[in-house]
Amino acid sequence: MVTKTTTKKPKTTTKAPEKKEKAPEPAVEEIKQPVIDMTDDGDDFSVEDFKIENDLAAKPDRYFEAIGRRKTAVARVRLFTRGDKTFLVNGVPYEKYFLMEQDRQTATSSMRKMKCLDKFRVSIVVKGGGRNSQAEAIRHGTARVLVDFNNNFRKRLRKAGFLTRDPRMRERKKFGLKRARKSPQWSKR
């Protein structure tokens, strides 16, 4: 028969660390603020004047927004109903951004189709791709934003093919080949 013997460990007590008294904080001198004279100094402003100015400044322009894509180019198009009638691409007029006439025609073709190129302020931010795919992305985006503005434009823009996203993309390069499909030159010996 096996018996177990247990031994109790002696309890140890720990003392709490003694608190050190804090040194008195040095007296802080009060800084005296200059007294502002609120008497009438000749300006005739009221609270209502400030409220009207703030409301005008805080009210944003109304716009419609859409995104157009082509290959790797993405164009974010904003159509403003108020303001000067300009067509800006990345903060520059489209005539200066697109140097080739063909790209200018492509970028503005959906607006010209609906005869509203000079009726709205259009602001576009476009990234990625080359100039041609950027122009086609802008065409896709402007067609979409025009449909958001007026749904009656959908039929004509769909018939022209401006609302369809072109799915053609560049095919990736495969290993062992020079490009997507071009193979290295074969020599018999």
For 123-153, the pLDDT digits (tens) are 999 999 999 999 999 999 999 999 999 999 9
* Domain interval for residue 124: 63-160
Q: Within a domain: residue 47?
A: no
Q: Within a domain: residue 85?
A: yes
Handedness of CA 67, 130, 110, 91 (dihedral sign): positive
Q: Within a domain: residue 95?
A: yes
Q: Within a domain: residue 99?
A: yes
Q: Within a domain: residue 114?
A: yes
Q: Within a domain: residue 3?
A: no
* CB distance 140 to 162 below 8 Å: yes
- Residue 76 pLDDT class (50, 70, 90 cuts): very high
| pLDDT at residue 150, as a whole number | 93
Q: Within a domain: residue 184?
A: no
Q: Within a domain: residue 183?
A: no
User: How many CB atoms are located within 10 Å of the residue 92 CB?
Assistant: 10
Domain count within the chain: 1
For 33-64, the pLDDT digits (tens) are 555 555 555 555 554 554 545 555 556 678 99
Residue with the larger pLDDT of the pair 57 and 170:
170
- Mean pLDDT over 20-40 rounds to 57
- Which CATH number goes with the domain that contains 72? 3.30.230.10
For 88-115, the pLDDT digits (tens) are 999 999 999 999 999 999 999 999 999 9
Residues 6+ apart with CB under 8 A from 49: none
Mean pLDDT, all residues of the chain: 83
